[in-house]
């Protein structure tokens, strides 16, 4: 019986070549769109992470603080939940950083280093909330040995607002692409079933079971999905390899390959089941 279903499925290709090609192209496009959606989400998450890592708090240390106290203070801050990383800049490091960033060497004018030592703290993501930042800055200012807390509040606030807005747009576009891809496959499978109306009616007249009518079409949709997955996966991996060499290091190839070979047959089968749901043995 299985061989019969498979033979009938492949006969469907010969009987409706144009519909087969349309369904194949729609399925390949659907898999591509879903992979693009996943890539967009991955890229946006990585980009957001890079932006959030730039939200730092600069803790200016008291010049009179002894080195032992500096190390103790660093250990204390490093053990706090809010600190993802903490970097100590002594006075010489601060001078080098100033010269590197500004191109101005104050040592040509001054015979001493006016720049203080400091801690550069990168915050954990869960603390990048406006209310948490306000409380955190106030608590840091009260710590002995910290002379000043330098934090660009407006820039951080605008950055966080932009990130949240970007997430809304990205998820909305992703949902739209997913719906479009599913509709493309459903429409192409529907065309195939419509073209087989006469044949299906003939099968009903000779007493064919409902499964005998539906299973070959579902298998055909699954086969089209596999072909579409291979094609879409090849195109998308080529695109990722190009990005790797030119712009952006992807490195998550297995996820996209696995997604392609699951999504292609799956959406083909689901679309076929939905398209066939109204078919019954009534003539």
Chain-centre distance of CA 41, in angstroms?
2
pLDDT at 106: 67
pLDDT at 10: 60
CA angle 197, 202, 204 (to 5 degrees): 95
Chain-centre distance of CA 131, in angstroms?
27
> In this structure, how many other beta carbons lie within 10 angstroms of the beta carbon of residue 215?
20
CA–CA separation, 229 vs 233, rounded Å?
6
Query: Could you give the percent of the chain with pLDDT greater than 70?
Result: 72
Give the DSSP per-residue string, the chain: -HHHHHHHHHHHHHH-HHHHHHHHHHHHHHHHHHHHHHHHHHHHHHHHHHHHHT-EEEEEEPTT--HHHHHHHHHHHHTSTTEEEEEEE-HHHHHHHHHHHH---GGGT-SS--PPPEEEEEEPGGG-SHHHHHHHHHHHHTSTTEEEEE--HHHHHHHHHHHHHHHHHHHHHHHHHHHHHHHHHHHHHHHHHHHTHHHHHHHHHTT--HHHHHHHHHHHHHHHHHHHHHHHHHHHHHHHHHHHHHT-----HHHHHHHHHHHHHHHHHHHHHHHTTT--S--
pLDDT tens digits, residue range 115-166?
788 888 888 877 777 667 778 888 888 888 888 888 766 666 676 677 667 7
pLDDT at 14: 60
pTM score: 0.63
- Looking at per-residue pLDDT, the higher value among 32 and 126 belongs to 32
CA angle 20, 22, 23 (to 5 degrees): 65
Contact 188, 236 (CB under 8 A): no
pLDDT at 79: 80
| Class for the domain spanning 56-127 | alpha beta
CA–CA separation, 218 vs 136, rounded Å?
58
> In this structure, how many other beta carbons lie within 10 angstroms of the beta carbon of residue 91?
16
pLDDT for residue 266 is more than 80: yes
Instruction: Report the pLDDT averaged over residues 76-90.
Output: 82
Parallel, antiparallel or unpaired: strands 146-150 and 118-123 = unpaired
pLDDT tens digits, residue range 39-78?
877 777 777 777 777 777 888 888 877 878 888 888 888 8
Determine phi and psi for 16, rounding to 5 degrees.
-140, 70
Determine phi and psi for 144, rounding to 5 degrees.
-65, 135
Q: How far is CA 60 from CA 65, 132, 148, 268, in A?
A: 11, 20, 5, 61
> In the chain, where are the structural domains located?
2-50+161-275, 56-127
pLDDT at 260: 84
């Amino acid at each position: 019986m299985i061989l019969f279903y498979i033979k009938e499925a492949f006969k469907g290709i010969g009987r409706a070549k144009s519909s087969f090609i349309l369904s194949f192209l729609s399925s390949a496009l659907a898999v591509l769109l879903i992979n693009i959606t996943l890539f967009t989400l991955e890229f946006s998450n990585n980009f957001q992470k890079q932006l959030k890592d730039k939200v730092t708090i600069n803790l200016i240390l008291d010049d009179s603080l002894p080195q032992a106290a500096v190390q103790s203070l660093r250990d204390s801050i490093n053990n706090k939940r809010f600190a993802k990383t903490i970097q100590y800049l002594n006075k010489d490091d601060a001078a080098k950083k100033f010269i590197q960033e500004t191109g101005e060497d104050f040592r040509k004018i001054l015979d001493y280093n006016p720049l203080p030592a400091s801690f550069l703290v990168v915050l954990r993501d869960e603390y990048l909330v406006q209310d948490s930042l306000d409380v955190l800055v106030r608590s840091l200012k009260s710590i002995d040995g910290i002379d000043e807390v330098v934090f660009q509040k407006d820039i951080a606030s605008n950055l966080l607002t932009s990130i949240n807005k970007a997430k809304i747009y990205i998820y909305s576009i992703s949902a739209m692409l997913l719906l479009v891809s599913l509709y493309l496959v459903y429409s192409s499978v529907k065309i195939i079933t419509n073209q087989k109306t006469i044949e299906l009616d003939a099968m009903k007249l000779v007493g064919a079971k409902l499964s005998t009518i539906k299973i070959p079409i579902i298998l055909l949709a699954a086969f089209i999905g596999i072909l579409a997955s291979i094609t879409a996966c090849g195109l998308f991996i080529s695109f990722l390899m190009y990005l790797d060499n030119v712009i952006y290091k992807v490195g998550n190839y297995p996820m996209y390959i696995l997604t392609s070979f699951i999504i292609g047959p799956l959406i083909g089968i689901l679309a076929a089941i939905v398209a066939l749901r109204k078919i019954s043995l009534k003539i």
